[in-house]
Structure 1
Amino acid sequence: MGAAMNPLNMSDVPDRRKGRWQLLLILMMVIGPMVLATFMYKLQFWVPESRSYHGEMIGNGQTRADIGVQADEQRWQLLVTAPAACAADCQQLVYLARQLQIGLGRDASRASHALASAQPVSTDYEAKLKAEYPQLQRYPLDLSTFTKDAAAPGDAQLWIVDPHGNLVLRYDAKVKGKDLLNDLRHLLKLSNIG
């Protein structure tokens, strides 16, 4: 046996501890963000308080029919609901809905404006609607269905409805037109429908 076997040099043997640490770091980089996001969601910490819309989000799958309005509109809709007489707040929202549609400019054809009222409007206001709001769609509001909905308050509201009839956002009479127009433009920009 002439040739002597060289003993293994300890520096040539892979360091198993180093490999384990590397594997652990890789797993933490992959699984860690998912675990952190789950805890953030479940425990509601580090959740941003800000939002990019101004109305009340309706994200529970409600449709126009759920608030007592039967309509077949295939465009985005600015729907004013009046469970009582269409008084000053209601009339302001109807005016705002028309102005918002005009304010959309080239996207105005993607939206419509409508009034759903539980009671007939006054004769003076009816004449004004016919003269000044020729494109306003009119629907009856089923008050029994409207009052069953906890999300539907008792005063006049303006709703943004998507082309499938789903309620998206709700505003009361105190809303600023510029804020609502920004919300509507943002929705139209993100949407491929309507």
Structure 2
Amino acid sequence: MSGFNSSDASFARASSPPPERAAAEPLGLSVHGLPAAGEAMQAVQRTRSGRWQMIGVLLVCAAPVIASYFTYYVVRPEGRRNFGELIQPQRALPDVQARTLAGASVPLASLKGQWLLVSVAGGQCNAACEEHLYLQRQLRESLGREKDRLDWVWLVNDAAQPPAALAPAMAQGQVLRVDGQALAGWLEPAPGQRIEDHLYLVDPMGHWMMRMPASLDKSTAAKAKRDLDRLLRAASSWDTAGRPDAAAPTR
């Protein structure tokens, strides 16, 4: 027994490496999947560069619009006075469905792409409503060759049906039925006035940006026309007649 144990011990000593040799052989470690520091930095720089390029493209596209509004709102000759009240901040067309008088559904946002001169009234259309419809038509016609850049719109805020006698006038503009609460969240009258008391001007991007005084009538229509002329002239570098992306709503 003792001889057998002695042989095992000798074999173990013979097969083990010397201590100094084992210490001299370091462990090998490998790291996988980590990009070089230079490559990671280049990826970050490419991402930043792409973002700045995107911002630059957006600014180039928006520059004409910004310039025209800057000209109108800021760079004003001494003594210039607007007849209409500029709205700050401007309010975008709400994302709601309107209806034609025949009942067809129309997104209100489909009115974008044209300047809009908007009136609001119930379907019965009292004397003040008829006066607004007349002024809307006359102001548009007074623009001459620029009139195709502006549409006049009557937004009916109740369920009443307009009188048949108004059919010839309505055929010249847009008449849509819109929920009264949705309109109240977009258009706002001057203090002490009703939403039906004003004409509202909306730019081609769908922003309500001017409110005509409740005192607007035939005797002051020329002042409203001056505002329209100035705005159309300021926007001439980027605005053209007609809706580029969608047809006008069915009347």
TM-score (norm 1): 0.64
- Per the alignment, residue 223 of structure 2 pairs with 179
SS at match of 1:54: coil
- Per the alignment, residue 91 of structure 2 pairs with 62
Cα deviation, 1:123-156, whole Å, max 9, x if unaligned, reads 53xx233223422101122211233458345341
| Aligned residue type for 2:85 | E
Quickly say closer, same or farther: Cα 1:184–1:141, change in 2 above 3 A.
same
> Is 1:107–2:107 an aligned residue pair?
no
Q: CA deviation at 1:174?
A: 1.5
Matches within 5 A, 1:86-101: 86-101=125-140
Distance 2:83 2:97 in 1: 24
Contact (CA 8 Å) 1:66, 1:145: kept in 2 or not? no
Matches within 5 A, 1:1-194: 51-65=80-94, 70-73=108-111, 74-82=113-121, 86-121=125-160, 123-124=162-163, 127-148=164-185, 151-152=188-189, 154-156=194-196, 157-175=198-216, 176-191=220-235, 192=237, 193-194=239-240
Contact (CA 8 Å) 1:81, 1:141: kept in 2 or not? no
List gaps (5 residues or longer) in structure 2.
1-77, 99-107, 241-251
Cα deviation, 1:61-101, whole Å, max 9, x if unaligned, reads 30232899724221111111226853221221111011011
Distance 1:66 1:170 in 2: 21
| Larger CA deviation: 107-116 vs 146-155 | 146-155
| Aligned residue type for 1:151 | E
Q: CA deviation at 1:51?
A: 5.0
Distance 1:120 1:172 in 2: 27
SS at match of 1:115: strand
Quickly say closer, same or farther: Cα 1:57–1:113, change in 2 above 3 A.
same
Distance 1:95 1:106 in 2: 19
Contact (CA 8 Å) 1:75, 1:163: kept in 2 or not? yes
- Once superposed, which parts of structure 1, at least 4 consecutive aligned residues long, lie more than 4 Å away? 66-69, 120-123
Cα deviation, 1:101-138, whole Å, max 9, x if unaligned, reads 100001011111110011245553xx233223422101
- Per the alignment, residue 43 of structure 1 pairs with none
| Larger CA deviation: 156-165 vs 166-175 | 166-175
Q: CA deviation at 1:182?
A: 0.7
| Aligned residue type for 2:223 | D
Contact (CA 8 Å) 2:95, 2:109: kept in 1 or not? no
SS at match of 1:58: strand
Contact (CA 8 Å) 1:93, 1:173: kept in 2 or not? no
Aligned pairs, number? 145
TM-score (norm 2): 0.50
List gaps (5 residues or longer) in structure 1.
1-48
Quickly say closer, same or farther: Cα 1:56–1:77, change in 2 above 3 A.
same
Distance 1:83 1:155 in 2: 11
Distance 1:177 1:67 in 2: 31
| Aligned residue type for 2:208 | L
